[in-house]
Chains A and B, each alone.
Chain A
Amino acid sequence: MNLSRDENTNGSPAPRRVELRDIRDEDLIVMVQEGHKKAFDELVARYKGRLFSFILRMVKDPTLAEELTQETLIRVYIHAAKYREIAKFSTWVFTIATNLVRNKMRQRSRRPRVISLNPAPDDDEMPVDPPDMTADPSEGIHREELANLINDATSRIPEKYRIPFLLREVEQLSYEEIQQVTGLKLGTVRSRINRARNKFRQLIKPMLKNETLLHELERIEARAAEEKDKDF
């Protein structure tokens, strides 16, 4: 599949260059099946954040979430040939991620948690992110407090309610897509999302009464809107 067409030499208007970001997920995975590695890079760029966000809220461990996100994307690449367009690509990806998360949580519940006495990192060669010196420290603290409260509340929702809830709230999958990912009936998906929302509301009540956190939420949303405007 030739994505970038060369300009004509006879002076006729050049055909529009097809950018990878304009291509649907389902077409990109077909390109991956044909051996286009750039198409896989585009899929990774689209899904890495979504997958990490979903998995982190499921397992509540950043290192494990990163590992499972990588594992999901590797499986997408390795098993790309198995994908058939009977379902949306996002449904397929989140089915893989959900199965991996479920397996890992099952393993963790069977084994006692081991805490290493030697906290030396495995990846000494990894580049270290420099701290953002321009950010307001108090703002960072409030944002972290807000994030911790939300993550803590999410992790306390029972697992069977949490998966459909996160797929809906974080990934904004439709009820039908959640049904395909989880294998549940449509009515069950609906009721579980409803129960999870009620539970979540009870758990974030401290935030609902905290003016500082509400103000922080508004500030985050305002900054996100500004960045969105800049992109356009």
Chain B
Amino acid sequence: MRCHKAKDYISQEMDEHLPPDVTVNLTEHLDSCADCRRFRADLLLGRRAMSATTPELPENFEWKLQLKLNQTLQRTAGETAYPWAEPAPDNWRWFRNFGAAAAMGMAAVLALAVFLGPDNVPGESGQALSGGTSSGVVRSISGGAGNTDRLPLFVDQSRRGGFYGVGSQHPVSAGGFSQSSGSRFFDRGWSGHNTNDLRTIQRLRIQNSQLNRDLFQQQQMIQGMRGQLDTVDTNALELELE
């Protein structure tokens, strides 16, 4: 028997798992091999040391076990009569917390967008609304028609004027309450500008460019007519009329 095979068998022999015939061969090998004898002695010493150094439990182990077992049984049974018992885990708690936090965050963002907007000046609002036409009336909190120092509540729709005196269905309002929607929350974009005003300005720019084009054409026509007049013999024309 070779040593590496004998070392395999030594482990099985220690556990009494070796067949009798192999045990005889191993014993013969051990008698003649000091190295394998030392190997076996080391393994047996290791086993002795292992069993000699068995760790000891703490004295209060059973007390703690009883306590933990009681808590587990209470939790398993769903008992809530004991105030010291740990509550059952709440799986939806994070959702509720997150939902509340998300709602508060949204409210804060909306509040910032509304109240920190660049055009939110009540005094200017009243002036812009009432200054478009002499007949425009703004009713303030105090009810005075021309009082622009107060926050305007609403504008008389029937007497509302347009921008620069031009009749328009969407008058400019630089802040305050919108006349069309009744709420400034929906009249503003994220930049803080009043979206109704932007639409009105864009429409007026289109109208102005159209007017400029018409004016240019009319000027061209007048100039052509003047040229024709210069070439006509006015004396002959006057004689004909007479």
Contact = CB atoms under 8 A, between A and B. Distances in A.
Nearest to A221: B52
Contacts of A194: 8, 11-12
A143 B52 CA distance: 9
Interface string B39-57: 1001101111111111111
Contact of A126 (B39, B47, B64): B64
Given A52-B55, A146-B49, A194-B8, A175 B62 contact: no
Main secondary structure of the interface of A (DSSP, over half): helix
B31 interface: no
B59 interface: yes
Interface residues of B, number: 35
Given A201-B42, A204-B46, A208-B45, A74 B53 contact: no
A75 B114 CA distance: 60
A175 B15 contact: yes
A15 B55 CA distance: 40
A127 B47 contact: no
Interface string A60-89: 001001100110011001100000000000
A207 interface: yes
A220 interface: yes
- Interface-centre pick from B45, B52, B58 (highest chain A CB count, 10 A): B52
A41 B1 CA distance: 51
B234 to A, nearest CB: 107
Interface string A133-172: 0000000000100110011001000000000000011100
Interface of B: 7-8, 11-12, 15, 17, 39, 42-43, 45-65, 68-69, 72-73, 76
Interface of A: 44, 48-49, 52-53, 56-57, 62, 65-66, 69-70, 73-74, 77-78, 123, 126-127, 129, 143, 146-147, 150-151, 154, 168-170, 175, 190, 193-194, 197-198, 200-201, 204, 207-208, 214, 217, 220-221, 224
Given A69-B57, A208-B45, 6 more contacts: A66-B57, A78-B73, A146-B52, A168-B15, A197-B46, A224-B52
